[in-house]
Amino acid sequence: MLKSKKMLSIPSRLFLVMVIFGFMSACKKELVSSTITSVWTPMPIIPDSSNFKSYLGLGDSYTIGQSVNADQRFPVQTAALLTQNSVQMKLPEIIATTGWTTGNLISALFNYTPVKTYDFVSLLIGVNNQYQRRSQDEYRIEFANLLNKAIFYAGNRKNRVFVLSIPDYSVTPFAQNSDTARISMEINIFNSINKEITLANGVTYLDITPISREARTDASLIASDGLHPSSKQYERWAALLAPMMKAAL
């Protein structure tokens, strides 16, 4: 398992493509602390003739790793663990931005469509649908759309796609003056939707929500912004995800 402050080395041949598509309307609420933002722009994919495995991470602040270092994001920690366990990995490509809903991610993929097949694809999206009080019916439709895209990006290999549940931010300092019972209940509802769709499509589902709820009594699982997961929490996600990915090969 990785240490939270030090990233295991990945061969220097690996290349990272991060895509941040910051078009969220200023009038929309975003689940983000007032002093933290994340920004990325598309970068050209550099050809790599090696046999290293590729990984595409789709999502929002939890995938881009708001408030942690780049090497502490859960996709990067997952790739490092795989490399440590004899699965040579490229650095993950990430299409995610803090504040994105399912609709935002769909729009981003329309404007920046991945042009290759990935060995692994992860999808974690929905907390901002809940935070913005968007409808569950809309989420159901858009999540199914995104899952189909994820399967396509994995070369229609459903066993190479991994959906992570939405963390519960009701236990964080950010939410301490909010209706935490309502937040937790709604997170459960949105997770029941994404789990139902995921399993119905024969895709692996990783429930990391219980880990996120441990932050109620373990502050080390929360980043310095008081809202997002810490590198330690992402390390625990990666420790569960990496073996699943290796088993899928």
Specify the range with the lowest mean pLDDT, choosing from 33-37, 138-142, 184-188.
Answer: 33-37
Checking if the pLDDT of 175 tops 70, the result is yes
pLDDT tens, position by position, 9-50: 433 333 333 333 333 333 344 554 333 333 333 433 444 546
Beta strands in 120-171 (DSSP E): 120-124, 161-164
Tell me the CA end-to-end span of the chain in Å, nearest whole number: 20
> Pick the residue with more confidence: 23 or 151?
151
Between 116 and 204, name the one with better pLDDT: 204
Q: What is the mean pLDDT of residues 172-185?
A: 98
Residue 101 tokens read as 């809903």
Mean pLDDT, residues 178-192 taken together: 98
**Distance (Å, whole) CA 123 – CA 95:** 10
Q: Strand, helix or coil at 229?
A: strand
Cα dist from 103 to 44, 81, 142, 174, whole Å: 24, 31, 7, 24
Share of the chain above pLDDT 90, in %: 78
Conformation bin of residue 142: beta by default, left when phi > 0, alpha when psi is -120 to 50: alpha
The answer to whether 222 and 215 are in contact (CB under 8 A) is: yes
Answer with the residue of higher pLDDT: 51 or 227: 227
Distances (CA, A) of 35 to 21, 81, 231: 19, 31, 19
Element (H, E) at 82: helix 74-84
The structure tokens listed for 210 are 């219980």
* pLDDT score recorded for residue 124: 99
Query: What's the confidence (pLDDT) of residue 31?
Result: 59
Residue 6, pLDDT score: 37
CA dist 71 and 8 (Å) reads 9
Structural domains in the chain plus CATH codes: 39-248 (3.40.50.1110)
| Predicted local distance difference test score (pLDDT) of residue 115 | 84
Q: Residues 80-129: pLDDT tens digits? A: 999 999 999 999 999 999 999 999 999 999 998 888 899 999 999 999 99
Length of the chain: 249
Q: Tell me the average pLDDT of the chain.
A: 86
Rounded Cα–Cα distance for residues 118 and 111 (Å)? 18
Please tell me the number of Cα atoms within 13 Å of 14 on its side-chain side: 19
| CA angle 88–239–117, rounded 5-degree value | 45
E strands of the chain, at which residues? 18-19, 55-59, 93-96, 120-124, 161-164, 204-206
